[in-house]
Structure 1
Amino acid sequence: MHIKSMLIALLILFTATTGSALASGLAKTIATSCEKELQGFCKDVTPGEGRILACLYAHLDKLSGQ
């Protein structure tokens, strides 16, 4: 449940801060922390405009609790 809340909050934050340095830093943090999930579920998703976060959100029920 904690990971779901965090991803929802990050999705909202990314939407509000698209293109900023903050969004870039968060994207790097997510990419590092969720590398396995990104490769497993979102490897064919083109980065940008929140598509990666949308992909992770679409697979929330399959994500690890890290």
Structure 2
Amino acid sequence: MEIKAFENEASYQFIVTNGGFEFVYNYIKEVPVGISKIQYLQSCKNESIALAQYELDKLKPPEELEI
């Protein structure tokens, strides 16, 4: 999984690519009170990766359980 971050006029944009799939997530530029900009961007990055993984997992057919 590859992730790139961009700063736009009104938001931060994170693009997550995995194989032929690309997911784009935007976050407001206003950093929440109590955390640094670096912490906020790291949080946005982690959330983007988690969201992309969730989307990829939804594309996989469910596995049959052997019971």
Q: TM-score, normalised by structure 2?
A: 0.30
More strand by share: 2
| Bigger Cα Rg | 2
State the TM-score, normalized to the length of structure 1. 0.30
Q: Which has the higher contact order (CA 8 A, sep 6+)?
A: 1
Bigger helix share? 1
